[in-house]
Amino acid sequence: MSHKAHGEGRQRILPLVIGAIGVVFGDIGTSPLYTLKEAFGHQYGLQPNPANVLGVLSLVFWAMLLIVTIKYVMVVMRADNRGEGGILALMAVVQRSLPIASPLAYTVGILGILGTALFFGDAVITPAISVLSAVEGLEVATPKLHQYVVPITLAVLLLLFTVQRKGTERVGRIFGPVMVLWFLCLAVLGVMQILRNPVVLYALNPFYAFEFFLHQGVIAWLALGAVVLAVTGGEALYADMGHFGRFPISRAWLLFVMPALVLNYFGQGALVLADPAALKNPFYGLVPAPLLYPMIILATLATVIASQAVISGAFSLARQAIQLGYLPRFKLIHTSDETIGQVYLPWVNRILMVAVMLLVLSFRSSSNLASAYGVSVTGAMLIDTLLLMILASSRWRWPGWAIALVGVAYLIIDGALFSSNAIKFFHGAWVPVALGMIVFTLMRTWRRGRDLVREQVNRDSLRIEHFVQSVMTDPPVRVTGTAVFMTPSNDYMPPALLHNLKHNKVLHERNVLLSVETLSVPRAEELERVAYTDLGHGFARLTLRYGYMEDPDVPKALKRWAIPGPPFDSMDTTFFASREALTANADQGMALWRDKLFLVMSRNATPATEFFSIPGNRLVELGTQVVI
pLDDT confidence bin for 4, thresholds 50/70/90: very low
- Cα distance between residue 597 and residue 588, in whole Å: 15
Q: How confident is the model at residue 8 (pLDDT cuts 50, 70, 90)?
A: very low
Q: What is the DSSP letter of 615?
A: -
CB of 252 closer than 8 Å to CB of 180: no
The string of pLDDT tens digits covering residues 558-591 is 999 989 988 999 889 999 998 888 888 877 778 9
- Among 388-392, 408-412, 460-464, 595-599, the minimum mean pLDDT is found in 460-464
Cβ(506)–Cβ(475) below 8 Å: no
60: nearest Cα among 271, 283, 265, 270 = 265
pLDDT, tens digit, 9 for 90 and up, residues 56-75: 999 999 999 999 999 999 99
506-518 sheet: strands from edge to edge:
530-536, 539-546, 506-518, 477-486, 573-583, 619-627
Per-residue HEC secondary structure of 354-405 comes to HHHHHHHHHHCCHHHHHCCCCHHHHHHHHHHHHHHHHHHHHCCCCCHHHHHH
CA distance 148 to 151: 5
pLDDT bucket at 142, cuts 50 / 70 / 90: confident
The CB-side HSE value for 538 (13 A sphere, CA atoms) comes to: 18
Q: What is the reported pLDDT for 96?
A: 92
Residues 396, 243: Cα–Cα separation, whole Å: 25
Query: pLDDT tens across 417-445, in order?
Result: 999 999 988 888 899 999 999 999 999 99
Residue 413 CA to residue 206 CA, distance in Å, equals 14
Please report which helix (H) or strand (E) contains residue 2, including its range: helix 2-23
Average pLDDT (288-314) is: 91
- H-helix or E-strand containing 619? strand 619-627
- Residue bearing the bigger pLDDT, 317 or 186: 186
Q: What does DSSP assign to residue 64? A: I
Return the pLDDT at 338: 53
Contact 493, 507 (CB under 8 A): no
pLDDT (0 to 100) of residue 5: 42
Residues 414, 374 contacting (CB under 8 angstroms): no
Residue 287 to residue 294: CA distance in whole angstroms:
10
Q: Which residue, among 72, 31, 387, 14, has the nearest Cα to 241 in the 3D structure?
A: 72
Q: What is the mean pLDDT of residues 375-400?
A: 93
Residues 6+ apart with CB under 8 A from 123: 310, 311, 313, 314, 352
Do residues 520 and 96 make contact, with C-beta atoms less than 8 angstroms apart?
A: yes
Residue 6 has pLDDT above 80, yes or no: no
DSSP per-residue letters across 39-55: HTSTTTT----HHHHHH
In percent, how much of the chain has pLDDT > 90?
61
Q: What is the per-residue DSSP string for 509-520?
A: EEEEEEEEEE-S
Interhelix angle 400-422/218-227, rounded to 10 degrees, is 90
Alpha helices in 460-522 (DSSP H): 464-471, 495-504
- Position 170 pLDDT exceeds 70: no
Residues 6+ apart with CB under 8 A from 22: 172, 174, 175, 176, 177, 178, 179, 180, 305
pTM: 0.89
- Pairwise CA distance, residues 355 & 197, whole Å: 43
pLDDT of residue 514: 95
- How far does Cα 250 stand from its chain's mean position? 19
Residue 241 has pLDDT above 80, yes or no: yes
For residue 11, what pLDDT band results from cuts at 50, 70 and 90?
low
- Between 8-12, 50-54, 93-97, 483-487, the lowest mean confidence (pLDDT) is in 8-12
Expressed in angstroms, the distance from the first to the final Cα of the chain is 68
Residue 168's pLDDT band (cuts 50, 70, 90): low
DSSP 253: I
Q: What is the DSSP letter of 522?
A: S
Q: How many residues does the chain have?
A: 628
d(CA 311, CA 214): 40
Distance between CA atoms of 343 and 319, rounded to whole angstroms?
8
- Whether the CB-CB separation of 128 and 356 falls below 8 Å is answered with yes
Write the Ramachandran bin of 523: left for phi over 0, alpha for psi from -120 to 50, otherwise beta.
Answer: beta
- The Cβ-side half-sphere exposure at 274, using a 13 Å CA radius, reads 18
- Strands 506-518 and 530-536, bridge-based pairing: unpaired
Confidence of residue 344 (pLDDT cuts 50, 70, 90): confident
Question: What residues contact residue 138 under an 8 Å CB cut-off, 6+ apart?
Answer: 145, 146, 148, 149, 152, 296
Residue 7 has pLDDT above 80, yes or no: no
Q: In terms of DSSP bridges, do strands 539-546 and 506-518 run parallel, antiparallel, or are they unpaired?
A: parallel
- Tell me phi and psi for residue 607, to 5 degrees: -55, 145
Residue 273 carries which side chain, given as an amino acid letter?
A: L
Can you state the angle between helices 292-323 and 2-23, rounded to 10 degrees? Answer: 90
Average pLDDT in the chain:
90
At 1, the pLDDT band (50, 70, 90 cuts) reads: very low
So what's the pLDDT on residue 3? 45
